[in-house]
Homo-oligomer: A and B are copies of this chain.
Amino acid sequence: MPRTSKFVHSMCGTQLVYVAVVVICGGVSMLLADDGRSAPSNVPGREFPKIHDDLRVTFRVSAPDAQKVRVAPRGDDNGLGRGPYDMQRDASGVWTVTTPPVRPGFHYYELVIDGFRCNDPNSETFFGWGQQTSGLEVPDAKLDFHEAKNLPHGEVRTLWYHSKVTGQLRRAFVYTPPDYDAQLQRHYPVLYLQHGAGESERAWSAQGRAGFILDNLLAAGQARPMLVVMDNGYATPMGIAKEGTGRVNAFADVVVKELIPTVDARYRTMPQREHRAIAGLSMGAGQALAIGLANLDMFASIGVFSGGMRNFDPRVSYAGVFADPTTANKKIRLLWMACGTVDGGYASLKASHQALQASGVQHVWFECPGTHEWQVWRKCLHEFAQRLFPK
């Protein structure tokens, strides 16, 4: 698995590599070459963070003038453990810590330098927690469904469009499958796929590797070729931001009135409801349910990853769309729900699944070991995409 992540390192400037190694290692003994591998999420040429065979992780930074340096996983159930981890200073001012074994997957984290929370210069940054945040990719030696491989790749394209709802230009990303430009008569179903709170339209490609997951499924014939539209789940209605009224979010309006018509106009889509799905993680799961269930004339399939459905009651929730199971089962082609088993929201979402089951609403429940983080959501997309859309 680490081998398939090599493409990241192909981007390195060798002159930078050697400078960085000298700076970071000056005055300290190097770890043995076989004592861990540089994380695939490191920027080119940086040795640390390193992941050991038993999934302990060693972080190291040089901060000679700092009094206290820590590594802080972001979030309560981050796969890096609870932390923060105090780093130990050596005589030259290089600080190091090795964590206990961590979970495979993608984990946000920060350094804390004399109380100031900042990014680790050694790692790529990812938009999460409302800002650019360091991310650590911990490969799972048994899984490569989300890795970049030498097989046909689709494209992820920027889609800029003007929103009358917000009065602003917005950017979405659109995954087109490998054959999109070659099969000019072909039309495609569309999955609208949303990120979580504090993230952005960049998340499903960067943190989530959605494009590689689809590329790999398509190469194996395990999913229908589809477009995947990844927009930003925040949409402040025009004029509202200045008035400071808070949490108003017009994303549902943007999706229904602007995004879908734009996508159907610019791309070769199949614009019928049975060929359109909406899914999301955490906050995006709530949005997928709210938007999808309120617009079943537009969506036939809904994916719910680790979120939504708090205080769910099938008789009344979502304007009573589940109240009559027979009607609901006719309207909804696929309701797909999933959660990591050690996610803080697991019990709640599983209870909703059980309530649906008891009331006879057809749906799929998927669970896998994992916290509230991207390895689970990658698995969700991988499973969900295989069930999407009629042949």
| A366 touches B (CB below 8 Å) | no
Closest to A202 in B: B11
Closest to A45 in B: B130
Residues of chain B lying within 8 A (CB to CB) of residue A66 = 113-116
| A171 touches B (CB below 8 Å) | yes
| A315 touches B (CB below 8 Å) | no
Smallest CB separation, A97 vs chain B (Å): 15
| Distance A163 CA – B46 CA, assembled complex (angstroms) | 23
Known: A63-B115, A130-B44. A246 touches B15 (CB 8 A): yes
Partner of A9, one of B7, B132, B161, B241: B241
| Distance A150 CA – B160 CA, assembled complex (angstroms) | 9
| CB neighbors of B among A1-28 (8 A) | 6-7, 9-20
Partner of A197, one of B13, B131, B158: B13
Q: Is A18 a contact of B232 with CB atoms below 8 Å?
A: no
| Distance A159 CA – B148 CA, assembled complex (angstroms) | 12
| A200 touches B (CB below 8 Å) | yes
Smallest CB separation, A386 vs chain B (Å): 22
| Distance A198 CA – B45 CA, assembled complex (angstroms) | 11
Closest to A254 in B: B10
Q: Is A234 a contact of B13 with CB atoms below 8 Å?
A: yes
| Distance A159 CA – B181 CA, assembled complex (angstroms) | 13
| A249 touches B (CB below 8 Å) | yes
| CB neighbors of B among A146-188 (8 A) | 148-150, 153, 155-163, 166-171, 181, 184
Smallest CB separation, A319 vs chain B (Å): 24
Residues of chain B lying within 8 A (CB to CB) of residue A44 = 130, 234
| Distance A219 CA – B201 CA, assembled complex (angstroms) | 26
Partner of A198, one of B16, B155, B161: B16
| A34 touches B (CB below 8 Å) | no
| Distance A172 CA – B268 CA, assembled complex (angstroms) | 24
Q: Is B43 a contact of A132 with CB atoms below 8 Å?
A: yes
| A119 touches B (CB below 8 Å) | yes
| Distance A169 CA – B124 CA, assembled complex (angstroms) | 18
Partner of A130, one of B16, B123, B155, B234: B16
Residues of chain B lying within 8 A (CB to CB) of residue A64 = 115
Partner of A170, one of B7, B121, B160, B232: B7
Q: Is A160 a contact of B171 with CB atoms below 8 Å?
A: no
Closest to A118 in B: B118
Residues of chain B lying within 8 A (CB to CB) of residue A116 = 61, 63, 65-66, 69, 113, 118
Q: Is A148 a contact of B130 with CB atoms below 8 Å?
A: no
Residues of chain B lying within 8 A (CB to CB) of residue A9 = 168, 236, 241
| Distance A131 CA – B156 CA, assembled complex (angstroms) | 23
Find the residue from A44, A63, A125, A160 having the highest chain B CB count within 10 A: A160
| Distance A353 CA – B132 CA, assembled complex (angstroms) | 42
Residues of chain B lying within 8 A (CB to CB) of residue A163 = 10
Smallest CB separation, A122 vs chain B (Å): 8
| A380 touches B (CB below 8 Å) | no
Residues of chain B lying within 8 A (CB to CB) of residue A198 = 13, 16
A-B residue pairs in contact (CB < 8 Å), sample of 6: A11-B170, A13-B198, A13-B233, A14-B241, A16-B198, A118-B121
Closest 5 CB pairs of A and B: A65-B115, A10-B168, A118-B118, A7-B169, A153-B160
